[in-house]
Amino acid sequence: MTLAELNKLPKTALAAALQTCCGSTAWVENMVVRFPVSDVETLMDEAKTQWNSLAEADWREAFTHHPKIGGDVEALRAKFASTSTWAEGEQAAVQQASQETLEALAAGNTEYENKFGYIFIVCATGKSAEEMLALLQARLANKPEDEILIAAGEQDKITRIRLEKILAA
């Protein structure tokens, strides 16, 4: 879809499209009122500005719209049907990982979620399962107040990639 086509969508269809990029209700609402946008750079700038203006609770809401990296594919497909194709593509390297790496990712995800209260968020595009595992293990050492900012930054990257995918469709 082109930016011109995105700009012409009715508000409900626009909100649904934006929801596939970021699961924060507040972010979607903030973005919808900024349309139409003049160009892709403005769209990306607004997406980042609106994301950074949100409260931690809004960030955490967005995180709930992501499957766990290395999680059960069938359960994830049902829960995240609208973004499952993207999530599978973003996490494609996990599907090629060894059983040992997958088990370590699963255990690390559980430890991460217990410590921080939300799933491990990482922009998985272009990363191998081993790289994601190393990032997960390194980030487990973070303080909660630091980790939420890192996770929010990763969500911002994911949102940008997904906006680009909408415009490329």
Nearest Cα residue to 162 out of 78, 61, 66 = 66
Catalytic annotation, pick one of 65, 66, 68, 127:
66
Q: Residue 21: which residues within 8 A CB-CB, separation 6 or more?
A: 47, 159, 162, 163, 166
- At residue 136's C-alpha, the angle toward residues 133 and 137, to 5°, is 85
Joined tokens for residue 132: 């994601």
66 is catalytic: yes
Residue 94 burial (CB < 10 Å; 0-12/13-18/19+)?
buried
| Cα–Cα distance measured from residue 42 to residue 30, given in angstroms and rounded to the nearest whole number | 14
Residue pair 42/82 in contact by the 8 Å Cβ criterion? no
Q: Which residues are catalytic?
A: 66
